[in-house]
A and B are shown apart, each in its own frame.
Chain A
């Protein structure tokens, strides 16, 4: 290795040997605000969430309707591709299983699309069976715009860039079309347990 800066330690980080933390990650306490663009501010009166694409019939909820859906309050660990992990984060939201309930589709993939033009792609099996939610509260407070509010996708078993902020809908597709970061060198699936960070991993 090259030059080492005498006495530099950097941000507090623990490479935890804990089996709970995927390889190559550091555990941190804070929750950094990260963004690929300006924060969108869609008024709740205009907000809708839709399931579209290769489905017999699209479905859509207004904000008011969305809040009446059965919700869950739960705690998960999150893992960012840039190596930080935050343990035991508390969320509230609607399971994607609820949103896809009764939807019959052959589609194997999903694109999550968002305000601010962000997209991310996932295999549909990574969104179902209790693995994903659309959340609107973090730490028992309404989700702040900086962290993706009013609602974001949450897929904790994949790297956190898949947990798309400002999500507005899921489009079901037969093709796996790369989203924002996937188009820019990141992995199509992003499993932290296999360190699928970049294309070619």
Chain B
């Protein structure tokens, strides 16, 4: 049953790739038919396991991108330089292929729309994936919890889900989108153009007085510096949930 903490034994199961969708030049969404999938909570992830013909195995974790309201399970994967698993998932995997995975996993980095507190989402790079799952879920159930996303990407064209985020921000008064690009900014860019720092958070994030629940996800250095800044801005440590994706590049 979706949402319970008791999972029983997580066993490996097979899903079938029914569609593939390029999000950016290095990011691809894999749409899977998962027979027997019992649902998941936004923020949870799966472990994916690849096995070569000689028995060599590699395993990585990927956040679930699709909301629980959707039948298929979607994973959004970023290609990492020298990444043996990401290069397969983004480059080689085809419709009709099967993928071995187990999940859903995780109960700590989870948000469900029954929570009324303001939702604060801070992402770096592919760290936006579990947060997008939360936003999609929020939209699907029509949650009134106000939400803000601060999203840091290297360049404008590496912003994942760019169009969908714009549409969501336009259609929903309760959702505000803030973007920052740390590399080259395109002409006419109205977002920020630097790494997330305490000053930026003081400006765009919910203040501590609003008592938001914060989810921070992305490369370890971003997650730790944002968490430190939020604490310096007097946020309650128990209200900050973090998920580190490790370094970007080289996995």
- A residues neighboring B (CB under 8 Å): 1-11, 13, 15, 30
When C-beta atoms are compared, the residue in chain A nearest to B100 turns out to be: A3
Report B220 CB to chain A, min CB distance, Å: 11
Q: Cβ of A5 and Cβ of B99 under 8 Å apart? A: yes
| Interface pairs (15), CB distance under 8 Å | A1-B51, A4-B51, A4-B53, A5-B88, A7-B92, A8-B50, A8-B52, A8-B58, A9-B88, A10-B50, A10-B56, A10-B84, A13-B56, A15-B54, A30-B82
Chain A CB within 8 A of B98 CB: yes
The number of A-B residue pairs with CB atoms under 8 Å apart is 42
Measured CA separation A39–B144 after assembly (Å)? 45
What is the bound-complex CA distance between A15 and B56, given in angstroms?
Answer: 11
20 extra A-B contacts, CB within 8 A, seeds A6-B98, A7-B93, A30-B82: A1-B51, A3-B14, A3-B51, A3-B100, A4-B53, A5-B51, A5-B52, A5-B98, A5-B100, A6-B97, A7-B92, A7-B97, A8-B50, A8-B92, A9-B52, A10-B52, A10-B58, A10-B84, A11-B58, A15-B54
**B55 interfacial contact with A, CB 8 Å:** yes
- B residues near A30, Cβ cutoff 8 Å: 82
Give the size range of B's interface with the partner.
Answer: 10 to 19
B85 to chain A, nearest CB (A): 8
Chain B interface SS verdict (over half): mixed
Determine how close the nearest CB of chain A comes to the CB of B134; give it in whole angstroms: 30
Whether B52 lies near A4 (C-beta < 8 A) is yes
**A contacts with B: majority SS:** loop
Which residue on chain A has the smallest CB distance to residue B55?
A1
B residues neighboring A (CB under 8 Å): 14, 50-56, 58, 82, 84, 88, 92-93, 97-100
Which residue in chain B gives the minimum CB-CB distance to A30?
A: B82
User: Residues of B contacting A13 with CB < 8 Å?
Assistant: 56
A2 touches B52 (CB 8 A): no
- A2 proximity list for chain B (CB < 8 A): 51
Q: List the A side residues contacting B99 at CB < 8 Å.
A: 5
Report Cα–Cα, A9/B55, bound state, in Å.
10
Expressed in whole angstroms, the minimum distance between the Cβ of A54 and any Cβ of chain B is 42
Give the chain A neighbours of B84 by CB distance below 8 A.
10-11
Residues of chain A lying within 8 A (CB to CB) of residue B56? 10, 13
Q: How far is the CA of A26 from the CA of B50 in the complex (A)?
A: 18
Distance from B207 Cβ to chain A, minimum over Cβ atoms (Å): 32
The distance from the CB of B67 to the nearest CB of chain A, in whole angstroms, is: 27
A142 CB → nearest B CB, Å:
22
User: Separation in Å of the B171 CB from the closest CB of chain A?
Assistant: 39
Q: Which 7 A-B pairs have the closest CB atoms?
A: A5-B50, A11-B84, A8-B50, A7-B92, A10-B56, A10-B84, A10-B52
Instruction: List A contacts of B58 (CB < 8 A).
Output: 8, 10-11
Question: What are the residues of chain A within 8 A of B97 when measuring CB–CB?
Answer: 5-7
* Chain A residues whose CB sits within 8 angstroms of the CB of B55 once the complex forms: 1
Residues of A within 8 A of B50 (CB): 5, 8, 10
Distance in angstroms between the alpha carbons of A7 and B89 in the assembled complex: 10
**B247 CB to nearest A CB, Å:** 10
In the assembled complex, how far is the CB of residue B242 from the closest CB belonging to chain A, in whole angstroms? 17
Residue of B nearest to A13 (CB): B56
Min Cβ gap B39→A in Å is 23
Instruction: Please give, as numbers and ranges, the residues of chain A lying within 8 Å of B52 by CB-CB distance.
Output: 4-5, 8-10
For the complex, give the distance between the alpha carbons of A2 and B14 in Å: 11
In the assembled complex, the CB of B61 is this many whole angstroms from the nearest CB of chain A, namely 16
Shortest distance in angstroms between B54's beta carbon and chain A's nearest beta carbon?
8
Question: Which residues of B have CB within 8 Å of A7?
Answer: 88, 92-93, 97
Determine the chain A residues whose CB is within 8 A of the CB of B98 once the complex forms: 3, 5-6
- Docked Cα-Cα span, A5 to B82, in Å, equals 19
Residue of B nearest to A3 (CB): B100
Q: Please report the C-alpha to C-alpha distance between residue A102 and residue B14 in the assembled complex, in whole angstroms.
A: 63
CB distance from B89 to the nearest CB of A (A): 10
A32 and chain B: residue at smallest CB distance? B250
Shortest CB–CB separation between residue B193 and chain A, in angstroms? 31
User: Which residues of A lie under 8 Å from residue B93 when comparing CB positions?
Assistant: 7
In the docked arrangement, what's the CA distance between A1 and B53, Å? 9
Give the Cβ gap from A132 to chain B, nearest Cβ, in Å. 30
* Residues of chain B within 8 A of A8, CB atoms compared: 50-52, 58, 88, 92
